[in-house]
């Protein structure tokens, strides 16, 4: 069982919230622990936004709960009506579901029957919940702040390698048709997770001007890496769909397609390693000239017999291949530009460190 940073931080936040509530002798400190669980977020930026929303939602919940008790009493129907009003208002403010949940907990615990003076009781319960929210924010800010860049690059690399592996198998006509179909669906799901991880990295804040410029360039780079992997997946889909049609092509035409795909796959692998300084930075024109030459050969072979291919879906495959090559050329230029203005080997060091830890 692997304990991730968020699990570790959630445990610390709950413990801190319970400790603070007990230190101030608040009754029912468990509510501080509950609110800390709801307030924990995957990034510091989201934690900050959650803090603002939680404060707003809990103030609303506390005010409506106090007003309802003073005016209408503590009848269960009144509690239910108050909850509905608070939910409607929070939805109107477009607050997150976890934020609304904590606000509802605030309403319920404040409207709970007690023999103590009600205003004092409501204030204590409100502060108890707020302790949990602030504890989660402090823990997320100080302990193990999330670093998503390494995770993002490794995810891009792993998904790209999986796609390229299947493209190679399709080139050799060695891929099992049904197994590849299931694998393509899995790769689509993983690409969705990759988009989510990119958003997590995008939300990481930078505090220095130089880092902001570098982060902006990296965001463009990683977006292009994801787009290149997505185009490679599109090529793989067409190779799978047109498996029988490719087998009926003339040997020279099929060989030209396989040759060009092999060049693009090698180009793609070289780009990923080049970005982290793990491959020799070959001049861009060396790849571009070879790709353009192979494209020209493909284009000349389409009408080699004076007739277009019998299956017009082959044009979709060729279009996907050309688009894939264009994405790789653009990625190459972006990497060269990034290395020209920034020499950032921190990611490469992290990758080497993690590789050394696994060996």
Note every long-range contact of 70-79, with CB atoms under 8 Å and residues 24 or more positions apart, other chains counting.
70/118, 74/111, 74/112, 74/113, 78/111, 79/107, 79/108, 79/111
Say which range, 76-85, 127-136, 202-211, 340-349, has the weakest mean pLDDT: 340-349
Distance CA 298, CA 321 (A): 11
Distance of CA 86 to the CA centre of its chain: 31
pLDDT at residue 8 in the model: 80
The pTM of this model reads 0.70
Give me the mean pLDDT over the 184-195 stretch: 92
Closest CA to 331 of 235, 260, 225: 225
Digit-coded pLDDT (tens) for 295-322: 888 777 776 555 556 667 788 888 899 9
Angle at 323 between CA 318 and CA 329, to 5 degrees: 130
Give me the mean pLDDT over the 26-45 stretch: 81
pLDDT at residue 155 in the model: 92
Closest CA to 167 of 239, 231, 78, 81: 239
């Amino acid at each position: 069982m692997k304990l991730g940073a968020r699990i570790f931080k959630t445990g610390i936040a709950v413990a801190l919230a319970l400790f603070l509530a007990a230190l101030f002798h608040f009754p029912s400190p468990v509510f501080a622990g509950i609110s800390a669980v709801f307030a924990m977020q995957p990034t510091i930026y989201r934690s900050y936004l959650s803090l603002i929303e939680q404060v707003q939602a809990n103030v609303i919940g506390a005010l409506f709960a106090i007003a309802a008790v003073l005016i209408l009493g503590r009848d269960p129907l009144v509690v239910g009506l108050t909850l509905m009003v608070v939910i409607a208002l929070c939805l109107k403010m477009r607050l997150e579901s976890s934020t609304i949940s904590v606000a509802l907990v605030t309403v319920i615990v404040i409207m709970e029957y007690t023999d103590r003076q009600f205003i004092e009781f409501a204030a204590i319960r409100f502060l108890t919940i707020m302790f949990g929210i602030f504890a989660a924010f402090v823990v997320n800010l100080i302990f193990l702040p999330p670093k998503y860049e390494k995770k993002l690059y490794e995810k891009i690399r792993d998904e790209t390698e999986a796609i390229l592996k299947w493209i190679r198998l399709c080139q050799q006509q060695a891929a099992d048709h049904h197994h590849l179909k299931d694998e393509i669906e899995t790769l689509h799901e993983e690409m969705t997770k990759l988009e989510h991880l990119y958003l997590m990295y995008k939300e990481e804040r930078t505090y220095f001007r130089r880092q902001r410029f570098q982060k902006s360039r990296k965001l463009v780079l990683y977006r292009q890496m994801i787009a290149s992997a997505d185009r490679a997946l599109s090529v793989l889909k067409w190779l799978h769909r047109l498996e029988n049609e490719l087998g009926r092509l003339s040997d020279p035409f099929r060989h030209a397609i396989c040759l060009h795909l092999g060049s693009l796959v090698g180009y793609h692998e070289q780009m990923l390693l080049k970005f982290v300084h793990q491959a020799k930075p070959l001049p861009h024109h060396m790849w571009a000239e070879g790709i353009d030459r192979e494209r020209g050969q493909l284009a000349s072979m389409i009408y080699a017999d004076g007739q277009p291919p019998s299956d017009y879906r082959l044009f979709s495959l060729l279009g996907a291949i050309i688009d894939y090559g264009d994405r790789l050329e653009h990625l190459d230029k972006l990497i060269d530009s990034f290395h020209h203005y920034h020499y950032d080997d921190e990611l490469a060091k992290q990758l080497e460190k993690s590789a050394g830890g696994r060996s």
